[in-house]
Each structure stands twice: as C-alpha cells, then as structure tokens.
Amino acid sequence: MTANNPKTGAFQAANRLSLKQLNYLVQLSDTLHFTRAAERCFVTQSTLSGGIQELESQLGVQLVERSNKHVMFTAIGADVASRAQAMLAMGADLIDAAKLSADPANASIRLGAIPTIAPFMLPALMRELRARREVSGAGGTPLPAPRVLLREDQTAVLLHAVETGALDAALIALPMDVGRLAVWPLFEEELWFIASTKEATTHTQAPMVRDLDMTRLMLLGDGHCLSEHTLRACSTAMRGKAMTPSDIEATSLTTLIQMVEAGLGVAMLPSMAVRAGLLNASEVIAKPFASPAPKRTIALVHRATQSPHHVLSQIRELAQAFGKPSTGGAKRSKQSALVPG
C-alpha cells in the first residue's frame, strides 16, 4: 500500500530535487536571461539550461517557455520559482543558525534600512551596539564588535532581499505590504510640515493636514514609501478634496529640502530627520502638525524561519529606545545616543 501512496511518490520526487537546480530556476526568474543567470551561478549556459530541464522532468511540468529572443515563465513555473526562493532562504537560515551556534560571540548580521531611516537611526544604533559589547567583555576585555553589514535602499528592494536571504532584516516604515515576512513594530513617528522661512510666516499656528494646498505639496519620487505615507495622510484628512500634488518630485530628502528652501513648495519630513539636524544649514522651518498628526510606524522585518539572533534582538531593543518620546526643539542637532530629540 505504501508504494501506491501519492504522498510517498511526492516525497521520493522531492528527494531528487537539488538546491542547485532550484537556484538555477530562481536566478533565471530574476534575470529572464539564460546567460546572465548562468553567470550568477558561475556555470555555463548549457549547464544551467540542462539543470532546469532536469527539474522540469522531475516535476513533470513545463516551467519555462523558451525562444530565441525571450524567456517566459509558465504560471506553474512562476509559482515554483517563488517557492524555490523561499526554500533557498530557509537553507541559508539553517547555515546561519549553525554558524551562530558554533561561534555566538562573533555573529554577524546583514541589515537593510530605507533612506528616510538609515542616516538618522543607524549611527546611533551602531554606536550603542558597539558600546554594549565593550562593557560586556569578561575580565575587562572588550568583546569584538558584532559585524553588521549595512545596506540602504528603497523598501521594495529591501523586502525582496530579506525574502531571498540576501539580508537578515530591514528597518522600514509601515503601512506597507511585507508579504510573508515577520514584522516587529518598533515605534510610531510623526511627519512634520516644512516650508521656507519666508513662507513659514504665513503658518504661525500648527498646520492642519486638511488645510494644505496640495498643488504645492512636493514628494519624493517613485519607490520612496514616504510619498505613499504622505499621500495616505492627506487622503485621510481631506476626504474628497482634490488630491493633485505638485508636479515637482525629488530623488532624496536633501534635494526635497533644497526645493522647499527655494520656495517651490512645501513638504512633509520624518521628525527623526528634523531632530537629527537635517535642516540646520538651510532656510527651512519645520513644525509639527496639529492633532491628528500624520504618522508612520517604524518596523523591523525578518524571515519567520530565522533562528533567534541575539544581535538582531539587540538592534530591535535599541531601535525601540530610539523612538521613545523626548523633548527638544525642531532644530536641535546634538542628540543623546538613542533619543531623537
């Protein structure tokens, strides 16, 4: 009876699959180009093509449609590639867990952060993480600082990197669709109103989101979640009013501030950027919005399959401390190690 059990047949077929074959498929899915996928895998094109054909034979389905000009995945091929990606990430987690168990004192972690978080949080987090190691060494001998590999990029890129195992975790801003990733919400952060010093004289009171002139509201370009959070806050506050922001978009917070300083419009800025002194050398004034103020949630995302990582837990704790309320003016630049105010 066992020999005729469909599940037994499925297990036997699964045992014939290899991580190498799955990696071939994932790289082809990413590049849609056999030569580039083979280069990523450090094999010849014929080896990669043969491995994928063998995988198709083992599964009994066509995964990829091939032509002289195009590579197209079938519906089941796209599904298998997505599942293969998750399996490869789980394999990487197994290796990381073994390394961590063998040498916990020298653990390393790959951490991503979006551009509207990285320059304002990461220096304080890394400084405090290093300080903790220095005071925790036995016999007065400092322990080596944990090796933290940092990557700054837009949200979608970081989420993909965490999903595929290229990163262990990422600091992002919610709300955001994170798929199957696990989320640790850390703290809420207000978005502040910024305007040129000349224009600020017309905003003597705390501004209300619903009173903003949308045609003068400038945003960051596509891919920056701050734009989505800004528009969501305006949509909630204005309820039916015209939602057509300025046709000027910036590629970075620095450029956005320069546009505001030039009097081309107004914008919203994360309060951590203001309190870190980003406006200190500019003729731009920042003001908190009147209640209800627009907010975003800073969160740490990671794979649910990951083993507990003490460095990641420390980063989570320090990031939560960073977001604790404090007092301070909008243009302060000298901050304590963790509190942005």
- Of 132-146, 186-200, 249-263, 323-337, which range is least confident? 323-337
Highest-pLDDT range among 9-23, 60-74, 163-177: 163-177
* The pLDDT value given to residue 255: 92
The answer to whether position 237 is within a domain reads: yes
- The b/e string for 199-227 (b: 16+ C-beta within 10 A; e otherwise) is bbeeeeeebebeebeeebbbbbeeebbbb
User: How far lies 8's CA from each of 15, 37, 55, 59, 295, in Å?
Assistant: 11, 33, 19, 14, 52
The answer to whether position 78 is within a domain reads: yes
The answer to whether position 133 is within a domain reads: yes
Supply the CATH number for residue 282's domain.
3.40.190.10
Give mean pLDDT, residues 56-82.
87
326 vs 51, more confident: 51
72 and 32 in one domain? yes
The domain of 49 spans 2-100
Last residue of a domain, one of 100, 120, 141: 100
140 and 42 in one domain? no
Would strands 249-250 and 219-220 be described as parallel, antiparallel, or unpaired?
parallel
The answer to whether position 81 is within a domain reads: yes
Give mean pLDDT, residues 4-18.
56
- Of 155-169, 225-239, 260-274, which range is least confident? 225-239
Within 13 Å and on the Cβ side, how many CA atoms surround 4? 1
User: How far lies 218's CA from each of 34, 46, 98, 174, in Å?
Assistant: 42, 50, 48, 20
220 and 173 in one domain? no
Cα torsion 219, 223, 226, 229 to 10°: value is 100
The answer to whether position 329 is within a domain reads: no
Question: Is a pLDDT exceeding 90 seen at residue 299?
Answer: yes
pTM: 0.67
Supply the CATH number for residue 26's domain.
1.10.10.10
75 and 46 in one domain? yes
The answer to whether position 40 is within a domain reads: yes
Give mean pLDDT, residues 258-267.
91
Joined together, the tokens standing for residue 20 give 């190498």
Nearest to 284 by CA among 217, 211, 193: 193
162 and 116 in one domain? yes
Question: Is a pLDDT exceeding 70 seen at residue 200?
Answer: no
312 and 285 in one domain? no
The answer to whether position 194 is within a domain reads: yes
* The pLDDT value given to residue 303: 87
Give mean pLDDT, residues 210-218.
84
95 and 123 in one domain? no
How far apart, in whole angstroms, are the C-alpha atoms of residue 127 and residue 289? Answer: 31
Q: Report how many domains make up the chain.
A: 3
Within 13 Å and on the Cβ side, how many CA atoms surround 148? 24
Question: Is a pLDDT exceeding 80 seen at residue 273?
Answer: yes
Token pair 């994928």 is found at 52
Last residue of a domain, one of 80, 100, 120: 100
273 and 177 in one domain? no
313 and 262 in one domain? no
In whole angstroms, how large is the CA radius of gyration of the chain? 25
156 and 70 in one domain? no
216 and 182 in one domain? no
- Of 242-246, 263-267, 301-305, 325-329, which range is least confident? 325-329
- H or E element in which residue 171 lies: strand 169-174
The answer to whether position 336 is within a domain reads: no
308 and 180 in one domain? yes
In the chain, % of residues over pLDDT 90: 30
